Amino acid sequence: MNTAIAAFTHRGVNLALRLAEFLDGEAFAPERFSRDGVNVIDSPLSDWAGKMFRDVRALIFVGACGIAVRAIAPHVKDKMSDPAVVAVDEGGKFVVPLLSGHVGGANDLARKIAAFLNATPVITTATDVNNLPAVDEWAVKNNCAIENPGAVKNISAEILEGHSVGVAVTHENIPVPFPVTLFLRPKILVLGAGCNRGINPADFESSAMDFLKGAGVSVMSLKAVATIDIKRDEPAMRMFAESHNIPLVTFTAKELQALKGNFTASERVRHFTGTDNVCERACVLCAGEGGVLLRNKNVYNGITFALARSDYNDITAR
């Protein structure tokens, strides 16, 4: 479930069910308003909202803005992690994004709902009101990680004043080019990896970070970790991928060996895995058509890494 819709009256539940079908979400309501297709909110509303903050990407309240604000208030953390929160009046006339308008996508969600309901979206973020670009929203739509979110406020303020701003969209670790620079990291890198069974997760993490530092790239530009399928359950790899919020992608030995290109071959690796190279082949294969090997196989203590880059044209919105 990516979207939860809460309602608190019979009329509101009718609208919540329509929105749940439209958004492929789930409707919720207190028990006295429950019916087929509606989940019961069986705890205090703020507790329920806290659980939704952890579980969903968008939270919609059909009712007064005040109800929504009081429910979510204890759980609000920061714009980089909070879900989109939107309020819709039960008459379906107004749609108000309350939280995570840009990074969380609440503004776009409000516009989408408003178009569906023939309602009015009430957008209050300054850049939108002034028809100016919002750099954090642009980053999300172009699948870029925001490295220093604290700079977003300064950049937006300068844009609103009509001043030039400094935004660096790069996977490389470069010197800061402007007095105030917002670094956006395109998710175009794949870390290829191989390791001995049972490698220490802390050793894997520190070795990976050292490898990426040596490559001169930001870990925030990683879009995946790639390896052979026999390592799909390796704890160190899974923990690294999870800690950096990226998938662990695996391929069979046959798929890896079939990839054409110049790779660092090892008969020992072939003997144990069925392919002459894991890390280089895996990252290039995962990078997709147009992908290039940026850094060849590097060997650490029981661990190997390689790095590939996808074509910049492959950057797509999440």
In the chain the domains, ranked by start, together with CATH numbers, are: 3-124 (3.40.50.11220), 135-183 (no CATH), 189-314 (3.30.420.180)
More confident residue, 316 or 70: 70
DSSP for 158-224, please give it.
HHHTT---EEEE-SB-----SSSEEEEEES-EEEEEEE-TT--HHHHHHHHHHHHHHHTB-GGGEEE
Q: What integer pLDDT is reported at residue 119 of this predicted model?
A: 95
Nearest to 305 by CA among 223, 227, 216, 202: 227
**Model pLDDT for residues 246-303, shown as the tens digit of each residue:** 999 999 999 999 999 999 999 989 988 999 999 999 999 999 988 899 999 999 999 9
In Å, the largest CA–CA distance within the chain is 69
From the number of C-beta atoms within 10 Å of its C-beta (0-12, 13-18, 19+), residue 43 rates as exposed
Mean pLDDT of 214-218: 97
Tokens 């590939």 -> residue: 308
**Model pLDDT for residues 35-85, shown as the tens digit of each residue:** 889 999 999 999 999 999 989 999 999 999 999 999 999 999 887 788 999
Structure tokens at 86: 């939107």
Q: 18 pLDDT band (50/70/90 cuts)?
A: very high
Q: What integer pLDDT is reported at residue 188 of this predicted model?
A: 96
**Model pLDDT for residues 98-109, shown as the tens digit of each residue:** 998 777 889 999
Percent of the chain scoring above 70 in pLDDT = 95
Rounded to two decimals, the pTM is: 0.72
Query: Is 261 within 8 Å of 293 (Cβ atoms)?
Result: yes
Q: 316 pLDDT band (50/70/90 cuts)?
A: very low
More confident residue, 183 or 149: 183
Q: What integer pLDDT is reported at residue 1 of this predicted model?
A: 67
